[in-house]
Structure 1
């Protein structure tokens, strides 16, 4: 289905990054002041966004959004809006990438037949206005967790229209690349096989952590006090992970899933620890390339 000229004009206006004069408190989106400066931010702060999301879109028809783990410091995303008849209305190809020490979201629109809305070399660019632990507010476009206390449960995406209103989408997570370790192991047919899958994932996560920790220690090798503190921090992490995930195991003592829940806990905590090591010890403040690539979730 090809969009009518009227629909294209409506959607182009809806997704324009041009600022408007006022902002109502209840709106999801934010608008930067004239000549605003984007705050410092890295792509790793958007790890909560990775995954596949689905919900209700325009005219109540289904819509889907997907974000891959960072590749070369850039997150690649796609959005698809269906028609009420179940065909593709339009789609978007999106990048979130570093720009001037901060982040920007760039996107292009496509009709169902892959003809583009924008000219060949043109795209919409949304600079970052503010960033929070579970939200990224680009100029006129917002991506945030539906519940900041449960990052994996839902996603809110909103865009400001030139009319002053906004389009807002609420998505639930689908099992996919950004799903939890348990969801990625559900192809196994028994509890034993699920646990074996998770145990193998944890082994990979531990190996990943060991590699990044070794690189951090190597970088600090001429500072014995710092090396000792990095090692002490890792020892504390190991003890904390065991205690925390043992508590998860105890909490699920009434079900056969207790082992899987504890393993999933360890994988998630290990991945966060690997990222912390990378951020603290393997990156440079001047924007130079990191010693090791930015780590993503263990697959």
Structure 2
């Protein structure tokens, strides 16, 4: 299977972005890994989902330590929803430090590496909410808010003089849906949802103002962006009014209207982030990727 391995690596290298603000670090020749404990990686535990290669879904999961080792899996889907490949990962003690060991598998569980071979990434540096292995990084998307997101990056081998990285930005799997922690009476639920909508709208406006500022307020682009804002607000009003009309005979009509408004607002904020606040290379976005409002 080694020919498959090298073919896929070559394909990945072709789509890897040049590292603007580099996520990965390389140890110098003969570097020594710093002291580190597996307990320093508790922020990594959980299930994470996001966009992977060519925009197809990708998932990463890490279990709590067992016997001093953390076990993780990564699954990359194809555009049609099939498994492209998966990875089985161990973060384990090596002396008084840590190393990440990894093996790749095809969809039929045949391996990329030979039976006893694996990729080993020695630890280069460890920081609060970040582990920098040699050419591979795992870190919190927001160090001040562990659990809100995960960034995973790997440096690809390439003939290009510029470093090439694959960067994955994940959200917690349990927060990727559209459920809200609102319960109680109809009145209490409606008040709760209204408060969530207010927070969602405030964030949408914050992201939009940042985007407008980066586009130059008086430019043609800024004018088109303002038109798109007006178009969204009109669409949201009519779309969610239609939902209200459908449920107008029931006591949940207001809740359905509010849920519709929250969902569309969050989608709009994410579109603003994707279209105007991110870069084509691996540079940091102007603002963090927005997660569903809670």
Match for residue 69 of structure 2 among 58, 68, 74: 74
Instruction: State whether residues 5 and 112 of structure 2, in contact with CA within 8 Å, keep that contact through their aligned partners in structure 1.
Output: no
Partner of 1:135: 130
* 1-structure distance, mates of 2:86, 2:44: 18
SS in structure 1 opposite 2:39?
A: helix
Partner of 2:112: 117
Match for residue 147 of structure 1 among 142, 147, 150: 142
SS in structure 1 opposite 2:102?
A: strand
* 1-structure distance, mates of 2:80, 2:70: 31
1:47 aligns with 2:42: yes
Partner of 1:86: 81
**TM-score normalised by length of structure 2:** 0.54
Q: Residue 4 of structure 1: CA displacement?
A: 5.6
Task: Please show how residues 23-62 of structure 1 align to structure 2 within 5 Å.
Answer: 26-62=21-57
SS in structure 1 opposite 2:54?
A: helix
Moved runs in structure 1, 4+ residues, more than 4 A?
A: 3-6, 11-14, 188-191
Task: Please show how residues 213-228 of structure 1 align to structure 2 within 5 Å.
Answer: none
Do the aligned partners of residues 34 and 12 (structure 1) sit closer, same or farther apart at CA in structure 2, a change above 3 Å counting? farther
Do the aligned partners of residues 5 and 73 (structure 1) sit closer, same or farther apart at CA in structure 2, a change above 3 Å counting? closer
SS in structure 1 opposite 2:81?
A: coil
SS in structure 2 opposite 1:175?
A: helix
1:101 aligns with 2:96: yes
* 1-structure distance, mates of 2:145, 2:91: 23
**5+ residue gaps in structure 1?**
15-22, 177-182, 192-299
Q: Residue 137 of structure 1: CA displacement?
A: 0.1
* 2-structure distance, mates of 1:33, 1:118: 26
Paired residues in the alignment total 175
Partner of 2:167: 168
* 2-structure distance, mates of 1:83, 1:111: 12
* 1-structure distance, mates of 2:25, 2:48: 22
* 2-structure distance, mates of 1:100, 1:12: 33
* 1-structure distance, mates of 2:182, 2:166: 41
Q: Residue 170 of structure 1: CA displacement?
A: 0.2
* 1-structure distance, mates of 2:92, 2:4: 32
